[in-house]
Amino acid sequence: MEQFEFSYPARRKIQKPAHVGVVGSGDLEVLLEPIESTTALVRVRTSVDGFKNTWKTVLDRFFSQYDGLVHIEINDAGATPGAVSLRLQQAVEASEA
Amino acid sequence: MSNLAFSREYLDRRSFIELDARQRAKSLLDAGTGRELAGPFDRIESPWLAIQGVTPQADDGCIVIRGTIDSRQTVVIAFNGAFQGGGIGEVSGAKLTAALDLACRDNENGKPTSAVLLLETGGVRLQEANLGLAAVSEIISSIIALRRYAPVISVIAGPVGCFGGMSLAAGVSSYIVMTPEGRLGLNGPEVIEEESGVEEFDASDRSLIWSIFGGQQRHDQGLADVLVDDDADQIATTIRDLIVKGVPAIHRSEQVDLYRSRIAALDTSTQWDPSLVHSLASSHLVRHNFSEGGGAAEADDK
């Protein structure tokens, strides 16, 4: 298992936390919460070692389109980059619903 | 056309199995009454998995929601079969036990509270084996304490089923509700094949697995009280009816002599097949809980 932390510039306050997904094979869990800060923070724990660059690429792309001041925790059990992006979008939708 | 009517009904129904554990729990409770205890943002996760290289889950795969069913206080505890096969660890076991003990205390204080267990679990989580075994014994004690006051209803919907130590927990509950997709057994198919060889049990044979462990067989054997389709509304109605019915006059696990005599009568000199299991079970069948009154289970038997 590996753990990474990333931070991104953000400025928009969000109202609600959101929890989506499950730490099941090929899937992941996303916890998204409002944060009192000037940057968004992401913590990733993944069961598959050696993919830090891929995680950074997926999260860079996500935060190129999202500016919520959030703390995101990802618990991953080997999800593909596509599945990660969909779960992140689902978490955003749930937090803004 | 009946085919058309069938497919319409099939398409319109709301699958229970396709709901995740949290949605399953909420689907049973009166709308708007559910309050989750020790939820994912409380981050009560397993301290043992990460040090073994396994990613933990924020709720440890056990979801506890308090609310009402038909305006009666109920706690629903749902296991998430997608996380570690729904395996019982130190934390998920403690959440279940604490939820049952709180319900027991409420009953003792004059506030009737039932419990519904949505079991999708292979039993003890191997990464936390000793703690998981201890948790199962606590769970069984807590179910037996609570069932004196209010029904403890186990639901095994599938697709994981309920195996290992948690099949014992299901066995001491007041009622067991299964779908045809659900499975109930002590040793699972892979364990039997591993221990006794493929001649004894072929764990790749799905029709064999369901004809031994499946909801239809378990219901016909009298080991499950109600067999219900994979339909969220039907399952909710079944559980409401059982809560209204209340504590059974005698629990299945109190019928020691009955089940001992059934085991004593088994002929193990020949290899059993599902039809033999079925015929013997049916001939021995005593459906003690439902011999009188018009309960949900009796309606289901038709």
Q: Is B50 on the interface with A (CB under 8 A)?
A: yes
Whether A68 contacts A5, CB under 8 Å? no
Closest residue of B to A44, CA-based? B55
Q: Which residues of A touch B87 (CB under 8 A)?
A: none
Using CA atoms, how far residue B260 sits from B20, B164, B174, B185, B221, in Å, is 38, 20, 19, 17, 15
Q: What's the CATH number where B140 sits?
A: 3.90.226.10
**Residue B5, pLDDT score:** 62
Q: What is the mean pLDDT of chain A?
A: 97
B42 to chain A, any CB pair closer than 8 A? The answer is no
Rounded Cα gap, residues B103 and B127, in angstroms: 29
Question: A65 vs chain B: nearest CA distance in angstroms?
Answer: 25
- A–B: how many Cβ contacts below 8 A? 47
**Integer Cα distance of B203 and B189 in angstroms:** 5
CB contact under 8 A, A45 and B82: no
For an interface test with A, the pick among B55, B79, B91 (most A C-beta atoms closer than 10 Å) comes out as: B55
Half-sphere exposure for B274 (CA within 13 Å, toward CB): 16
pLDDT tens, residue by residue, A15-54: 999 999 999 999 999 999 999 999 999 999 999 999 999 9
* Domain membership flag for residue B42: yes
B50–A31 CB contact, under 8 Å: no
| CA closest to B43 among chain A residues | A31
User: Which 79-118 residues of chain B touch chain A by CB within 8 A?
Assistant: 80, 82-84
* CB spacing of B54 vs A31 below 8 angstroms: no
Do A34 and A69 contact (CB within 8 A), yes or no?
A: yes
Number of domains observed in the structure of chain B: 1
Domains (range + CATH), chain A:
2-96 (3.30.230)
Looking at the complex, does the CB of residue B189 fall below 8 Å from at least one CB of chain A? Answer: no
Q: Whole-model pTM above 0.80? A: yes
Mind listing the pLDDT tens digit of every residue in chain B (302 residues)?
456 666 777 788 899 999 999 999 999 999 999 999 999 999 999 999 999 999 999 999 999 999 999 999 999 999 999 999 999 999 999 999 999 999 999 999 999 999 999 999 999 999 999 999 999 999 999 999 999 999 999 999 999 999 999 999 999 999 999 999 999 999 999 999 999 999 889 999 999 999 999 999 999 989 999 999 999 999 999 999 999 999 999 999 999 999 899 888 888 888 888 888 777 666 555 444 443 333 333 333 32
Rounded to 5, what percent of chain B is helix, strand, coil? 45, 15, 40
Q: Assess if residue B1 is contained within a domain.
A: no
| Cβ contact A19–B41 (<8 Å) | yes
Main-chain dihedrals φ then ψ at residue B262, nearest 5 degrees: -65, -40
Q: Is residue B150 part of a domain?
A: yes
pLDDT, position B127: 96
Choose among B39, B53, B57: nearest Cβ to A29: B57
The one-letter amino acid code at B113 reads: T
Distances in Å between the Cα of B100 and the Cα atoms of A5, B81, B106, B157, B250 are: 38, 20, 10, 21, 20
Considering only the beta carbons, identify the residue of B41, B56, B57 that sits closest to A33. Answer: B41
Q: How close does chain A come to B54, measured CA to CA in Å? A: 6
Domain region containing B153: 13-301
Instruction: Give the CA diameter of chain A.
Output: 35
Token pair for B133: 């075994």
